[in-house]
A and B are shown apart, each in its own frame.
Chain A
Amino acid sequence: MMVTVKINGKEYSKDVEPRTLLATFIRDDIGLTGTHIGCDTTNCGACTVLMDGRAVKSCTVLAAQADGHELETIENEADKELSMVKESFIEENGLQCGFCTPGMIMTSLYMLRKNKNPSEDYIKNSLAGNLCRCTGYVSIINSIKNANEKINGKKAVVK
């Protein structure tokens, strides 16, 4: 079946099997390999992308369900706020092996757009769907606080 989606502002049409997962579509059919797959049970969040602005786990969405929709992935260079989140992760060393990072960054972007003044507890709880095995999350939480200052202009997040 034909699936047409806009990814990072560019339109793609591909003929895929109906069972194709969105994660497979993005990675294998389109070739954007920044979106990762870390589990088969929708727990780890490494595959998180934005669909029409909302964070979704692309391993649990069919490519067919994304037909006609707009996606944003880690590769997007045109989104200034996404760039700010990336800068913050770099400044705060918010990653080690980097495998969970794209999903963490996309979740963070969604979180900071939704809540312009997140508390530390809000940040921690909003990361419940994204697993990291390297950092113990401390530097990731610091990265999100830093990104919040950049995007929402708020000073230090209170607990």
Chain B
Amino acid sequence: MTYLDRFANGKGRYLDDIKLDNMLYMSLVRSPYARAKIKSVEGGMTSRDLKAYYAVVEGDHREPVLAIDEVNYQGQAVAAVFGKNRYEAEDLLSTVNVDYEPLEAIHSIDDAKKKAPIYADRKDNILSTEDVGVKFNESDIDYDIKVTDTILLDRVSANPMETRGIVADYRDGILNVYLPSQSIVRSKSGIVKSLGLPPEKVRVFLIDNGGAFGVKALFYPEYIIACYASMKYGKPVKWQETRTEHLQACHAGRGVEGTLTLYAKKDGTVTGLDGEVLLDNGPYLVDAAAVDLGNVIHEVTGPYHIEKAHLTGKYVLTNKAPNGYYRGAGKPEASILMERMMDLLADKLNMDIADIRLKNALETPFKSPLGLEMRYPTKPFLEDALKYFNYRELSKKEHVGISLFILDEDTAPGESARIIVKDGKVHTYLGGNVSGQGHEMFVKSILSDELDIEQDSISLELQDTETLSTGVGTWGSKSAMTHGSVLMQAAEELKKQIEEKYGKYSPEILLSHDFDQTSFYKFDYNDNQVNFNIVTSRINEMGDFEELKIGAYYDLGKVLNMANVLGQTEGGALQAIGEVLSETLRYSEEGQLMTTSITDSGVLTADHTPEFDIKIVENPSVMKDRAKGLGESPMIGIPEGLARSLETQIHKRINTMPITREFLFDSL
């Protein structure tokens, strides 16, 4: 039975489907204030019982899993209660009394600049600062014009249809954990570190994952509390996040404000880039922030040859849930900032938006002063893409936005896999985890080809940290690249095993004996690739779309499964459109979340589905399976294309995402 059969018949096994004897349900008492002193807490499990931190990174201002003396965002966990079912657990919330003294809160990056520091050990609301590139003087570079703008990409909630959750089951001295995770290996190391447990006493099981988009790669207070409670009470403990909790307390993505200056010659050649990028960090030091902001500031120059570049990144303290990953994790921000600046420069120079990109695109590989090593030329690719979409003609008739971007895949350090052959069946386990992308399809086709066996005899299983103790994870658009490659390597090593023992390989020998092969495909660096999006749209006088067409010209190296490719592209496209039009988390001046439902948070419905023209090109990658990445590409390329297409209709610069309905309406 394939995953398609299982899921279409309601036979998935998701977190909330797990039912164990004597299981307790956990509910959290969460702060109603964005910032407050806790004068007293009575009842429930509190930091008096469990004083622990979940961030793997060391440093000041880590978040305790249960608040100690203060809260710094609405929804922060203060106490935990446990009932025999979810209704009883929620009833028990009223048995906890917390006395708060509310304090002035910071609700935005802008607010953080104006208000007094929230921490006594800081002179401002900056947690830390990071510089990349080489600072230069304007007098040192050759330029005729400079353009500056501030672009805000507001916070977005990942909103997988299945929220976060965990089942912790401590029995016979072992902490068994069931988790929809993008990396159970990473989750295990987080649990081990936070609770100071020996690694051999913790076993994490992967289960069906109802969507991830970054947030299931992260580690959270609730996970640690549930594990601790299971050990304390000697019973299984389940926590399944409500959607309201997800919006309030799950770590949120984007929240990036960049102020960039481009220096350019009259012919459009960009000679320098300088600026500052601010991350809406939330109040605590979390692991994701350095990746999110790091990706932005290292990748801004993207597909362009810019000799002189410097950026300062700042982690800005706000009284909102901490920063987390969201599909792309800094890569979309880098591209949106750069492409919006390219459009601005084109407008100032009265140049065509394609011509300014052609002028600056790479003719050879290039190491950016910001650190990104672009491995492939981007100019020939751009020329091909413009030709494919007949850009010159199209741009005369339609409102067109384009984007040229790189996708830097997180291929390092590689990935693991295990193949167990037993009773004529080939069972496969992947070191990175399935989080709803349909890996099963390429697993079957690759192994079927490599081992010369029927797809029906191959299965992709959900592993745990005992069946496969090594592994990296699924993220950064590299899952098909590293998993495909490690499977090919494992198949080769398996065949070698058989040749050594039986003198030759044959599918019959394979399926009539037992074999066990664990392999690690090592890949030392992050590969990258070039992609292109084109967006055309037409809005009416109410700001509604009469037409919306997404063109994608993506290089996938080698397509492993076309249905998955289309699914990732179409799904990513709708998220990207949502990010421009509607998706965000809105806070009041007091730091109260005003977004109260998944609909409020702007997740788009089926009537927003655009038309597509998806052209896949295949320039093989250096990976063993020749594949290139995809998952993050629509998020990286589409928002700025749509922004440009709209901008040409409303005749007003778009430098904030999401735009509001009022903004569109007032501009028409």
Interface members, chain B 215-271 (any A CB < 8 Å): 242-244
B interface footprint on A26-60 (CB within 8 Å = 1, 0 otherwise): 01100111111111110110100000000000000
The answer for the CA separation of A89 and B5 in the assembled complex, in Å, is: 9
CB distance from A132 to the nearest CB of B (A): 7
- Across the interface, do B597 and A96 meet the contact criterion of CB distance under 8 Å? no
The answer for the CA separation of A30 and B557 in the assembled complex, in Å, is: 48
Also in contact, A34 and B609, with CB within 8 A (given A96-B436, A134-B567): no
Which A-chain residue is minimally distant from B163 (CB atoms)? Answer: A38
Chain B residues lying within 8 Å of A121, measured Cβ to Cβ, are: 607
- Across the interface, do B161 and A99 meet the contact criterion of CB distance under 8 Å? yes
- Which 9 pairs across A and B sit closest by C-beta, in order of nearness? A34-B10, A97-B436, A98-B7, A99-B210, A74-B10, A136-B574, A136-B570, A127-B606, A39-B243
- Across the interface, do B161 and A133 meet the contact criterion of CB distance under 8 Å? yes
- Across the interface, do B609 and A136 meet the contact criterion of CB distance under 8 Å? yes
CB distance from A152 to the nearest CB of B (A): 20
Chain A residues lying within 8 Å of B8, measured Cβ to Cβ, are: 86, 89-90, 94-95, 98, 101, 105
Which B-chain residue is minimally distant from A105 (CB atoms)? Answer: B8
CB distance from B456 to the nearest CB of A (A): 15
Chain A residues lying within 8 Å of B597, measured Cβ to Cβ, are: 39, 41, 43
Q: Which residue from A32, A39, A97 sits with its C-beta under 8 Å from B435?
A: A97
A interface footprint on B16-31 (CB within 8 Å = 1, 0 otherwise): 1101000000000000
Is A19 in the interface zone, CB < 8 Å from B? yes
Is A17 in the interface zone, CB < 8 Å from B? yes
The answer for the CA separation of A28 and B213 in the assembled complex, in Å, is: 28
Chain A residues lying within 8 Å of B86, measured Cβ to Cβ, are: 24
CB distance from A104 to the nearest CB of B (A): 10
Is B209 in the interface zone, CB < 8 Å from A? yes
Given contacts A31-B19, A46-B161, 17 further A-B contacts (CB under 8 A): A20-B87, A33-B10, A34-B10, A39-B243, A41-B597, A93-B566, A96-B571, A98-B3, A127-B606, A131-B605, A133-B160, A134-B571, A135-B567, A136-B567, A137-B574, A138-B612, A139-B566
What number of A-B contacts does a CB cutoff of 8 Å give? 176
Is A116 in the interface zone, CB < 8 Å from B? no
Q: Which residue from A17, A75, A95, A138 sits with its C-beta under 8 Å from B609?
A: A138
Is A118 in the interface zone, CB < 8 Å from B? no
Which A-chain residue is minimally distant from B327 (CB atoms)? Answer: A133
Which A-chain residue is minimally distant from B634 (CB atoms)? Answer: A136
The answer for the CA separation of A33 and B11 in the assembled complex, in Å, is: 8
Interface members, chain B 568-590 (any A CB < 8 Å): 570-575
Which B-chain residue is minimally distant from A43 (CB atoms)? Answer: B599
Is B619 in the interface zone, CB < 8 Å from A? no
- Across the interface, do B9 and A74 meet the contact criterion of CB distance under 8 Å? yes
- Across the interface, do B10 and A73 meet the contact criterion of CB distance under 8 Å? yes
- Across the interface, do A125 and B607 meet the contact criterion of CB distance under 8 Å? yes
Q: Which residue from A37, A124, A140 sits with its C-beta under 8 Å from B16?
A: A37
Is A22 in the interface zone, CB < 8 Å from B? no
Chain B residues lying within 8 Å of A136, measured Cβ to Cβ, are: 567, 570-575, 609
CB distance from B421 to the nearest CB of A (A): 27
Chain B residues lying within 8 Å of A17, measured Cβ to Cβ, are: 87
CB distance from A159 to the nearest CB of B (A): 10
B interface footprint on A69-96 (CB within 8 Å = 1, 0 otherwise): 0000111000000000010011001111
- Across the interface, do A41 and B3 meet the contact criterion of CB distance under 8 Å? no
The answer for the CA separation of A40 and B90 in the assembled complex, in Å, is: 13
- Across the interface, do B211 and A97 meet the contact criterion of CB distance under 8 Å? yes
CB distance from B631 to the nearest CB of A (A): 11
Chain A residues lying within 8 Å of B566, measured Cβ to Cβ, are: 93, 138-139
Chain B residues lying within 8 Å of A39, measured Cβ to Cβ, are: 243, 597-598
- Across the interface, do B567 and A36 meet the contact criterion of CB distance under 8 Å? no
- Across the interface, do B161 and A44 meet the contact criterion of CB distance under 8 Å? yes
Total contacting residues, chain B, CB less than 8 A: 57
CB distance from A155 to the nearest CB of B (A): 21
Q: Which residue from A41, A73, A96, A99 sits with its C-beta under 8 Å from B14?
A: A99
Also in contact, A97 and B161, with CB within 8 A (given A39-B597, A138-B566): yes
Chain B residues lying within 8 Å of A124, measured Cβ to Cβ, are: 606-607, 609
B interface footprint on A97-124 (CB within 8 Å = 1, 0 otherwise): 1111110010000000000000001011
Is B141 in the interface zone, CB < 8 Å from A? no
Identify 9 residue pairs between A and B in the complex whose beta-carbon atoms are under 8 Å apart, listed by A's number.
A33-B14, A34-B12, A38-B161, A97-B160, A99-B12, A135-B571, A136-B570, A137-B574, A141-B609
- Across the interface, do B11 and A34 meet the contact criterion of CB distance under 8 Å? yes
Chain A residues lying within 8 Å of B10, measured Cβ to Cβ, are: 32-35, 73-75, 101-102
B interface footprint on A1-36 (CB within 8 Å = 1, 0 otherwise): 000000000000000010110001001100111111
Is B438 in the interface zone, CB < 8 Å from A? yes
Interface members, chain B 255-309 (any A CB < 8 Å): none
- Across the interface, do B159 and A133 meet the contact criterion of CB distance under 8 Å? yes
Is A128 in the interface zone, CB < 8 Å from B? yes
Is B667 in the interface zone, CB < 8 Å from A? no
The answer for the CA separation of A75 and B12 in the assembled complex, in Å, is: 11
Chain A residues lying within 8 Å of B242, measured Cβ to Cβ, are: 40
Also in contact, A133 and B567, with CB within 8 A (given A41-B596, A44-B598): no
CB distance from B566 to the nearest CB of A (A): 7
The answer for the CA separation of A31 and B17 in the assembled complex, in Å, is: 9
- Across the interface, do B609 and A137 meet the contact criterion of CB distance under 8 Å? yes
Chain B residues lying within 8 Å of A96, measured Cβ to Cβ, are: 211, 436-438, 567, 571
CB distance from A9 to the nearest CB of B (A): 16
Chain B residues lying within 8 Å of A141, measured Cβ to Cβ, are: 606, 609
Also in contact, A36 and B598, with CB within 8 A (given A97-B210, A127-B605, A131-B161): no
Q: Which residue from A37, A75, A131 sits with its C-beta under 8 Å from B9?
A: A75
